[in-house]
């Protein structure tokens, strides 16, 4: 994807946006999503300053050590317990893990590389002057209605996110009923499903404002072990920590989604293997 520098501010500009792509140099996927992102940036650039960034580099995949794999397993169990409590549900009981498999060692390496790409994009966003971060993974599928619906999302995000941390899920992945969010449901306004606390679905496509990303970065600076978590569970944990900080937050998911989750829809095979 060609790096796009911020455009000159248009007259009466809307809040600026950084459009980010996480990918693995898969030419099949990139040949589809990169032109879509370029068109989206052109569309958004009519009313606001736009910057496009990407994160793709990763080292060769080397399975994690048994010790790190076991520690990740324990950490993820604790995060799952924290997440259940956060959602007002009973926490599952887990036996203390004492063994791991070679598949878990390899999967752990892949998951950590993906999380690292998201974190790198958060840092690059904070080094920019943009107001919002719109992040895509390379299996996001654009629809004919995506550009106009995204414009509606950004208007809502600007209004709702004033003075608050904002998280918006734009591509889904799992059906909302399967996420166990019943106790956090607040209301639905047309396509906007609001929650009492910020909650994730997947990391296929999401929108954050600067205060939210700033808190993400601060938490990670003082809890660096969280970088070992899979990307979706990393965001879950960060949202739990933000709640503990007492931040005012706004969260909505789009239903139907603005973009489609290509892996969940069976369009693309999973690269987490």
Q: What is the pLDDT of residues 205-264, one digit of tens each?
A: 999 999 999 999 999 999 999 999 999 999 999 999 999 999 999 999 999 999 999 988
The span from the CA of 149 to the CA of 43, in Å, is 12
The span from the CA of 81 to the CA of 251, in Å, is 21
Backbone φ and ψ of 158, nearest 5°: -65, -45
- Predicted pLDDT at 98: 85
* Count of residues making up the chain: 273
- pLDDT grade for 265, boundaries at 50, 70 and 90: confident
Instruction: With beta carbons less than 8 A apart as the criterion, state whether 140 and 33 touch.
Output: yes
- Predicted pLDDT at 29: 95
- Segment 48-60 shows an average pLDDT of 97
Lowest mean per-residue pLDDT among 7-11, 56-60, 211-215: 7-11
The span from the CA of 104 to the CA of 102, in Å, is 5
Instruction: With beta carbons less than 8 A apart as the criterion, state whether 251 and 86 touch.
Output: no
pTM (two decimals): 0.92
CATH topology assigned to domain 14-63+109-261: Spore Coat Polysaccharide Biosynthesis Protein SpsA; Chain A (3.90.550)
Q: Any residues with CB less than 8 A from the CB of 255 and at least 6 apart, and which? A: 172, 176, 188, 191, 193
Backbone φ and ψ of 207, nearest 5°: -120, 130
Place of tokens 């060769």: 60
Q: What b/e sequence results for 60-85 when a residue is b if at least 16 CB atoms lie within 10 Å of its CB, and e otherwise?
A: eeebbeeebbbbbbebbbebbebbee
- pLDDT grade for 177, boundaries at 50, 70 and 90: confident
Q: Any residues with CB less than 8 A from the CB of 161 and at least 6 apart, and which? A: 209, 211, 250
The span from the CA of 135 to the CA of 103, in Å, is 28
List the one residue out of 168, 163, 164 whose CA is nearest residue 149.
168
């Amino acid at each position: 994807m060609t790096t796009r520098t911020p455009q000159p501010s248009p007259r009466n500009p809307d809040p600026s946006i950084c459009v980010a792509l996480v990918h693995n140099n898969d030419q099949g996927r990139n040949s589809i999503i990169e032109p879509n992102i370029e068109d989206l940036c052109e569309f958004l650039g009519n009313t606001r300053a736009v910057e496009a960034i990407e994160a793709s580099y990763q080292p060769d995949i080397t399975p994690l050590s048994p010790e790190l794999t076991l520690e990740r397993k324990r950490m993820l169990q604790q995060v799952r317990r924290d997440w259940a409590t956060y959602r007002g549900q009973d926490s599952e009981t887990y036996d203390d893990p004492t063994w791991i498999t070679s598949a878990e060692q390899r999967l752990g390496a892949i998951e950590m590389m993906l999380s690292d790409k998201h974190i790198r994009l958060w840092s690059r966003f904070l080094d920019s002057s943009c107001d919002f971060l719109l992040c895509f993974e390379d299996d996001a599928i654009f629809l004919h209605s995506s550009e106009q619906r995204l414009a509606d999302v950004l208007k809502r995000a600007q209004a709702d996110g004033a003075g608050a941390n904002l998280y918006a899920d734009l591509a889904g992945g799992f059906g909302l009923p399967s996420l166990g969010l019943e106790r956090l449901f607040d209301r639905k306004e047309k396509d906007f499903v609001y929650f009492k606390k910020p909650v994730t679905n997947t990391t296929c496509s999401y929108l954050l404002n600067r205060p939210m990303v700033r808190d993400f970065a601060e938490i990670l600076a003082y809890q660096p072990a969280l970088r070992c978590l899979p990307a979706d569970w990393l965001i879950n944990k960060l949202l739990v920590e933000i709640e503990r900080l007492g931040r005012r937050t706004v969260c909505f998911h789009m239903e139907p989604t603005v973009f489609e989750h290509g892996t969940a829809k069976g369009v693309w095979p999973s690269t987490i293997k």
